[in-house]
Amino acid sequence: MTSLPLADAARPRRFPRIRRRWGGPALVALAAAITVLTWATSRPMEPTAALLTVSQLFASLALVAFCLVFAISARSSLVDRVFGGLDKAYVWHKWLGIAALSAVLVHKMTAAPSDSEDARMLGNLAMFALLILTIVAMAARKMRHETWKLVHKLMAIPYAIGLFHYCSHSTYGAFALQPLSLWLGIVNVVGAVCAIYTLAGYRFLGFTRRVTVASVTPTARDTVELVLEPRTRRPPRIRPGQFVFVKGRIAGTRFPAHPFTVSAVGEGGIALSIKGQGRHTSVLVSKVRAGDVLRLSRGYGRFNPAAGGEHQVWVAGGIGIAPFRACARAGLAAGHQVDLFFAYDDPDTAPHLEEVSAWDSDSFRVHLVDRSRHGLLTATKMEEILSTPPQDIYFCGPPPMLHALRRGLPTTRLGRARLHFDEFSLGRPEPRPRTRQPRRRSRRKVAD
Ligand SMILES: Cc1cc2nc3c(=O)[nH]c(=O)nc-3n(C[C@H](O)[C@H](O)[C@H](O)COP(=O)(O)OP(=O)(O)OC[C@H]3O[C@@H](n4cnc5c(N)ncnc54)[C@H](O)[C@@H]3O)c2cc1C
């Protein structure tokens, strides 16, 4: 590895410049603004205390938040576009769920004691069910993914009770001809349709693209490359950098939908590089055979180095090489210069290592960081190697590596580059780092 001085003497930043998309915040702000505006221009059906009208405002905001939560779960291409990627949308999904619950709690605390017994009972039922399910979902760091998903699906029950509670007891009249009622009418129909689609329709309609496994090639320890050929007339239209959900039956066992980034996009077909990291992927990696039939979702995500600046840095950790392989194979945009840092534990665990090494050229410089020989890749090491800071840094790798990079980048001159990455938790709380282990402590020391 070479060590060269940096040309740009720009001041280090405190935080990395993360590439933000404003579609999500704009949509949420717009929905909240319309709710407040329609509430302010509507009148309760009967003379009502001011506090109760405020309570109704919070109930309305909760319904709007729920509508957005279920709209994100429906995983339409519109959600992908507006939020700048489904992975980012799921972060909003989580926080909107928490916001909805908070609004419900404020609604409950400010509701008039004179409300009817039925209204109170329904409201309490929805609120407590929602509270319990949200606490379980947020605390579930070690819960099996299927159970975690079931907890989320069960949230449709308090939502349905809440809708009924609103339709039968709204102070503003659910079916009245006034702005708030009309707005919430639209919101509730959209929310209910999305909830039904998420629960009953998505598993069929979201996976209409059938593919055959054309070949299975081991590319590293516990890692295989699957080449998938379409069986349907409508081949999957997927861009390099995107991910798909894959499901099917492998050796007679159900493989539930999992996200994988495409590692090559070809004439009608795609390739996936999959590492056996857990219960299902381990079975897939050891049992999948050519000829197996799988089902694919549409392509999701906005990870797109082709749209970045002329000088880019790509940082891949282990199986995180997948999107960069797809992008490199698709070819660099004219005039683009790339420095690829490929970090892995040891050569046995590095997928596509030979292929990646062969990419090294004047416009595409490859820096291999073998942890068993060079230690962990840090922002400081990258700064030492790069002669000029890039405009954009694209990252794909394990979350601890991303966290270390996000901490380290602002302390270097690379901190001025825009940082792009996919959210790999899809809204799920990440397992807590095992801080008591000595290996973890030494890692942090190197990363800082
Ligand atoms: C956007 C994205 C792109 C990915 N790309 C790749 C790739 O190209 N190659 C690759 O090998 N891996 C990729 N993964 C990770 C891959 O999906 C995981 O290996 C997988 O989720 C672990 O599944 P498991 O059932 O074997 O593990 P488990 O031991 O059952 O679960 C471990 C953890 O994995 C997550 N997880 C499990 N099931 C799912 C699921 N159905 N959906 C989402 N998360 C789940 C949960 O956080 C869970 O706690 C990607 C993940 C995401 C979110």
CATH placement of domain 209-296? 2.40.30.10
pLDDT number for residue 403: 92
List own/partner pairs for 31-39 with CB under 8 A and 24 or more apart.
31/64, 31/67, 31/68, 31/187, 32/61, 32/64, 34/183, 35/60, 35/61, 35/64, 35/180, 35/183, 35/184, 37/179, 38/179, 38/180, 38/182, 38/183, 38/184, 39/180
Substitution candidate for ligand 1 out of 150, 224, 225, 260 with most atoms within 8 A of CB: 260
What confidence score (pLDDT) does residue 16 get?
A: 57
Q: What is the mean pLDDT of each run of 10 residues along the chain (448 residues)?
A: 34 56 91 97 86 93 97 94 92 94 94 74 92 86 84 95 92 92 97 97 91 95 95 79 95 93 88 94 95 94 91 96 96 91 95 96 95 92 92 94 92 90 73 48 34
Per-residue pLDDT at 285: 96
- Quote the pLDDT of residue 266: 83
pLDDT score at 347: 94
Q: Which atom of ligand 1 is nearest to the CA of 272?
A: 8
pLDDT attached to residue 2:
32
Distance 257 CA to ligand 1 centre (A): 9
Rounded to the nearest angstrom, the distance between the alpha carbon of 259 and the centre of ligand 1 is 6
What atom of ligand 1 comes closest to residue 426's alpha carbon? Answer: 53
Residues whose beta carbon lies within 6 Å of some atom of ligand 1: 87, 145, 243, 256-261, 273-275, 277-281, 319, 322, 422, 424, 426, 428
What are the boundaries of each domain within the chain?
A: 42-205, 209-296, 305-447
Amino acid letter, residue 290: A
Distance CA 378, CA 405 (A): 6
Fold of domain 305-447:
Rossmann fold (3.40.50)
pLDDT of residue 244: 96
Helix (H) or strand (E) holding 260: strand 253-265
pLDDT at residue number 446: 31
What is the pLDDT, as a whole number, of residue 430? 65
What stretches of 84-225 show up as alpha helix (H) in DSSP?
86-110, 117-139, 145-154, 156-169, 179-196, 202-205
